[in-house]
Amino acid sequence: MRCDYDVWAPRASTVSIVLDGETHEMTPAGDGWWTTDVPWRGGVDYGYLLDGEGPFPDPRSRRQPSGVHGLSRTDDPRGFEWHDAGFTPVPLADAEIYELHIGTFTPEGTLEAAATRFDHLRSIGVTHIELLPVNDFNGEYNWGYDGVDWYAVHELYGGPEGYRRFVDAAHQAGLAVIQDVVYNHLGPSGNYLPTFGPYLHDASANTWGASINLDGEGSTEVRSFIIDNALMWLDDYRVDGLRLDAVHALVDHGPVHLLAELSAAVDEFAQSEGRSVSLIAESDLNDPVMFTERSEGGHGLTGQWSDDFHHAVHVNLTGETIGYYADFESVGALAKVLTKGFYHDGTYSSFRERDHGVPIDRENTATWRLVVANQNHDQIGNRAIGDRLTATLDADRLAIAAALTMLGPFTPMLFMGEEWSATTPWQFFTSHPEPELGEATAKGRIAEFAKMGWDESSVPDPQDPATFERSKLDWSEPEQPEHARMLALYQRLAELRPDLVELTFDDVAVSYDEDARWLVLDRAPYVLVVNLSDSPVDVTAVAPQAGEPLLDTAAFLRSAPLAAETLGAPHSVVVARRA
């Protein structure tokens, strides 16, 4: 942790620190750093004057009790008493991840309230909780991707102390914590980093604005700023992994990619601490370079998300083929994803209008390296009205999505509420205090949907408080019969998961019939017969290797007994032990 007030401010000619209302001049320490002899104390408010302007919050602030425009406050993690001795996270190969947003997971929208739901998560087999970004942003509520203070935990969630209590409680409950971090851009309000130094790369930009400076003048310190932040989550907060947002937007032409440098630093930390830490990339590149070992020219991450799985499942269940769903309009697309990981692995992408992706080494790559979901915050929240699959599919089709996700060859990730077929939407919401920024956000949101062909008039106003309130889970739903039965199905699927064996892509076999719309997934020790059609399928004929049936989703949802003569009903999955 930082035990002083040193700050990197190469763009300033003079720097002073305002501490408890008193101003102290700082002295240059070389390489753009400034220092002071003022002793560090916990719980003190402070900020920096740059060439007489300010005071500005600390770029590495641990607390912003008055918001992103206010003074920083020191925080001492050494004073927290941990109770998680002996906790070891389940390896990613055996993990089941649950993605949640603190602000909408519970009515209270706090870390403390979220911790009261751990028993529920364990009942569906969850091993890892993945939190959407919690670093500080302007306003009261936000998805978290508009963060500007990467080192500070949003106060309304519980601040740094609340975060430590959450992780401590999760570990005591046997649950690991993965923190979603955003290193590819900064939010639009309260971003004072460019005032201090060259944190942004004006020559390049991504969807969200100027790129982070990873390879230009001053980039060495910017890279350290990112790596130190990652290590902070692991050390001060004891998280067990990081989900790295949109790494395809990291522009880095340096000799060693930031991701490789980051994974090396994290591996060194984990080894020194005797801990297991996962780094999971969200990448649109469909390139196994993400999880290829550094010694083989890769970035050395643990795994990455695979949107192709989501698209293939979504299209085969909903029939929706607009926008980026267009290429996945076949059972064969789903079969390819299950056996090769990426659908676009050097093939033409009609949405991108170019070839896309790189093949995975099927013989030597473990399938768990890919984290998959049939719903997640992006694939729900980035739809025009934030509608879940529940709004489109009946229980039978939802069960197919659940079975393919939970018992498929990959590491499954659920999105909060999916397990009981929640009916609440999850929409894009913001609370920018600046009216002009709120208006620009709403207009930009509408423009994003043009290529997807969605009705722009139906897009809810992100700034309307009702948009945020609508997106909160309704915890009374799991008690209602139709939702309780879906929850029971997820619990049954979780019971079957421990018997799954680790696979390479070569170990996965799929047969299918495009016209009859069935697919058989052979992944030890189970055989899944997936009927995507309106007609029954003869399970023994299409899957002679299937032995004892363990689950029939159609019968289960109707509380009917498992019977051989009823297997293979329309829109169902039969899970059998391999003979």
Is 274 annotated as ligand-binding? no
User: Annotation-wise, does 243 bind a ligand?
Assistant: yes
282, 287, 522, 552: the catalytic one is 282
How many CB atoms sit inside 10 A of residue 165's CB? 16
Rounded to an integer, what distance in angstroms lies between the CA atom of residue 579 and that of residue 573? 17
Backbone angles phi, psi at 24, to 5 degrees: -130, 125
506 is in an annotated binding site: no
Distance, in Å, from the CA atom of 270 to the CA atom of 264, rounded to the nearest integer, reads 10
Q: What is the DSSP string of 424-475?
A: S--------SSHHHHHHHHHHHHHHTTTTT--GGGPPPTTSHHHHHHTS--T
248 is in an annotated binding site: yes
Return the SS3 of 482.
Answer: helix
String of b and e for 237-268 (b: at least 16 CB within 10 Å)? bbbbbbbbbbbebbbbeeeebbbbbbbebbee
463 annotated as ligand-binding:
no
> Does 244 belong to an annotated binding site?
yes
Comparing CA positions, the residue from 264, 245, 92 lying closest to residue 176 is 92
245 annotated as a binding-site residue: yes
73 and 58 in contact (C-beta within 8 Å)? no
β-pairing verdict for 546-552 and 209-212: unpaired
187/197 Cα distance (integer angstroms)? 17
Query: Among residues 96, 245, 419, 552, which one is catalytic?
Result: 245
Q: Is 94 annotated as a binding residue?
A: no
- The span from the CA of 396 to the CA of 562, in Å, is 16
User: Is 245 designated active site?
Assistant: yes
Do the annotations mark residue 307 as ligand-binding? yes
Q: Is 380 annotated as a binding residue?
A: yes
Q: Is 309 annotated as a binding residue?
A: yes
At 523, is the secondary structure helix, strand, or coil? strand
Q: Is-contact 179 239, C-beta < 8 A?
A: yes
**Residue 344 counted as an annotated binding residue:** no
Q: Is 75 annotated as a binding residue?
A: no
Rounded (5°) CA angle 383-190-225: 95
Question: Does 379 count as an annotated binding residue?
Answer: yes
What is d(CA 84, CA 19) in angstroms, rounded to the nearest whole number?
A: 35
Q: Which residues are annotated as a binding site?
A: 243-248, 307-311, 377-382
Q: Which residues are annotated as a binding site for substrate?
A: 243-248, 307-311, 377-382
Q: Which residues participate in catalysis according to the annotation? A: 245, 282
